[in-house]
């Protein structure tokens, strides 16, 4: 009797999971893409909200002047948010992934964080994510 009861519970769980997948199968790919690009979205929004601080940091670190520092921050902002929009809209995904990879490389050099272990770990995770988009 307990076998029949557990069997019916298993069957009902299978039916519920199939129903859940049937209902959500159109939304899950979009949610997955959003999760994958969330780091870039957050960083792009942070660039927008902390524009002056980011520009000042680049200027003080590289002594390149405010104009070039602002160009750098703008390039980061547009590269990250533009890449995310392209990936989420499923347009030019491979090019957007290359752009995001380029942004990672650019930030690595500009912020002098090549040997920061935390950055290296998160970047290597991003590289894995980008290669899965292709």
With beta carbons less than 8 A apart as the criterion, state whether 21 and 51 touch.
no
What's the pLDDT at 7? Answer: 61
What residue ranges do the domains of the chain occupy? 1-124
Residue 115 pLDDT > 80, yes or no?
no
Q: What is the mean pLDDT of the chain?
A: 84
Helical ranges in the chain per DSSP H? 2-24, 28-49, 51-62, 66-88, 93-110, 117-133
pLDDT band at 70 (very low <50, low <70, confident <90, very high): very high
The DSSP result for 91-124, as a single string, is SSHHHHHHHHHHHHHHHHHHTT-TT-HHHHHHHH
Tell me the CA distances in angstroms from 35 to 43, 83, 110, 124, one per residue in order: 14, 14, 26, 16
Measured N-to-C along each axis, helices 93-110 and 117-133 cross at an angle, to the nearest 10 degrees, of: 170
Q: What share of the chain has pLDDT > 70, as a percent? A: 78
What's the pLDDT at 113? Answer: 66
Predicted TM-score (pTM) of this structure: 0.68
User: Stretch 84-98: mean pLDDT, rounded?
Assistant: 93
pLDDT (tens digit per residue) in 3-56: 555 567 888 889 899 998 888 888 888 898 999 899 999 999 999 999 999 999
Residue 133 pLDDT > 60, yes or no?
no
What's the pLDDT at 122? Answer: 67
Buried b (16+ CB within 10 A) or exposed e, 98-126: ebbbebbeebbebeeeeeeeeeeeebeeb
Residue 130 pLDDT > 80, yes or no?
no
């Amino acid at each position: 009797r307990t076998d029949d009861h557990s069997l019916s519970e298993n069957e009902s769980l299978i039916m519920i999971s199939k129903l859940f997948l049937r209902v959500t199968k159109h939304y899950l790919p979009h949610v997955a893409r959003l999760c994958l690009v969330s780091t870039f979205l957050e960083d792009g929004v942070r660039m927008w909200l902390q524009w002056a601080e980011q520009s000042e940091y680049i200027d003080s670190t590289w002594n390149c002047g405010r104009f070039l520092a602002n160009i750098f921050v703008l390039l980061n902002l547009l590269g990250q948010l533009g890449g995310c929009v392209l990936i989420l809209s499923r347009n030019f995904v491979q090019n957007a992934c290359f752009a995001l990879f380029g942004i990672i490389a650019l930030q690595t050099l500009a912020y002098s964080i090549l040997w920061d272990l935390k950055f290296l770990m998160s970047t290597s995770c991003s590289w894995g994510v980008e290669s899965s988009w292709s």
